[in-house]
Amino acid sequence: MEAVFVSACLRGVPCRFDGRDKASPEIERAVAGRPVVSFCPEVAGGLATPRRPAELVGGDGHAVLDGTARVVEDTGRDVTAEFVDGARRALAAARHGGCTEALLMPRSPSCGRGTVHDGSFTGRLTAGDGVTAALFERNGIAVRPASGA
């Protein structure tokens, strides 16, 4: 059975920006019986827990990887380098673990798939992917947002 990469917060690790997790029975059912690689790209990129909220500004994760968008905290601090570094480390962990699929935290600037916060820090959402989700997609790892998170 092929391994699945899962955002660490979805497996009960309190590594979200607010110091909490997003574990749920739906997540555990989705990965039951499969080898799992749990990982937090933001922590791996050197960001603390808890940390300031961050959002994508100027585009989504694909644009960040292309150098045309940034990831910034609500204070204005640019954390793009940390997000890109964390995404690269996540990809390395996924490859090392033999993952062909990833179950990622919805709406996250790292892990969001299909929908992310719009960069205004108002709770508004926009179409797009997080930095890690974009890097995974570019490298052939199927990404899907976690339901129930």
Q: Are 27 and 10 in contact (CB under 8 A)?
A: yes
For residue 24, pLDDT beyond 90: no
Residue 136 is part of which domain span? 3-145
Task: Give the tens place of pLDDT for each residue, 127-144.
Answer: 999 999 999 999 999 998
The token duo for 71 is 């990831």
> Looking at the 3D structure of the chain, how many domains does it have?
1
What is d(CA 113, CA 141) in angstroms, rounded to the nearest whole number? 12
pLDDT of 48: 98
Q: Which residues pair with 6 in a beta bridge?
A: 38, 103
**Looking at residue 148, what is its pLDDT?**
61
- The mean predicted confidence, pLDDT, of the chain is 96
**Averaged pLDDT, 24-33:** 92
pLDDT in tens, 82-103: 999 999 999 999 999 999 999 9
> What does pTM read for this prediction?
0.96
